[in-house]
Amino acid sequence: MATDRRAEVKWRGDLMSGTGRIDSVTSGAFGGLDVSWPARSDEPNGLTSPEELIAAAHATCFSMALSNGLAQDGHAPEQLDTSATVTFQPGEGITKIALEVVGRVPGMENGAFQEAAEKAKENCPVSKALAGVPEISLAARLEG
């Protein structure tokens, strides 16, 4: 079954001095998030940006795929802490995404964890959609 998720954005003015707002999304989980070009291409000053939202999309997708893979191997995680860092080069595009995950997974061996993390990186739907990013790196480690 196909699932649709919608986002609505409003923008006023030109690119350099105009302002926008991520007004609403299907779930209602967030809304009213301001965006601007200076905040996107320089210091964020508390504002989100397309690249930060891509980081959020990728980190969430990767975490779900990894938890699924670990559970299928009989090692459901207690906790996964994931960060995604998206590098944006204005004029060039998105040049890198760095994924980092720290897992608390009872009874898991490091080698198997590395393998599961690599698989999640390859197969999660957001990774597939962003496969054209020149570099997607992964650092995975077990805690405890």
Minimum gap (Å) between residue 62 Cβ and other proteins: 8
Rounded distance between C-alpha atoms, residue 77 and residue 126, angstroms: 21
Q: Which of 73, 115 has the CB closer to other proteins?
A: 73
As measured in angstroms, the least distance from the Cβ of 65 to other proteins is 8
Distance of CA 101 to the CA centre of its chain: 12
Closer of 28 and 144 to other proteins (Cβ):
28
Q: How far is the CB of 117 from other proteins (least distance, A)?
A: 13
Cβ 65 vs Cβ 122: under 8 Å: no
**Which residues neighbour 100 within 8 Å (Cβ) at sequence distance 6 or greater?**
82, 83, 84, 85, 138, 139, 140
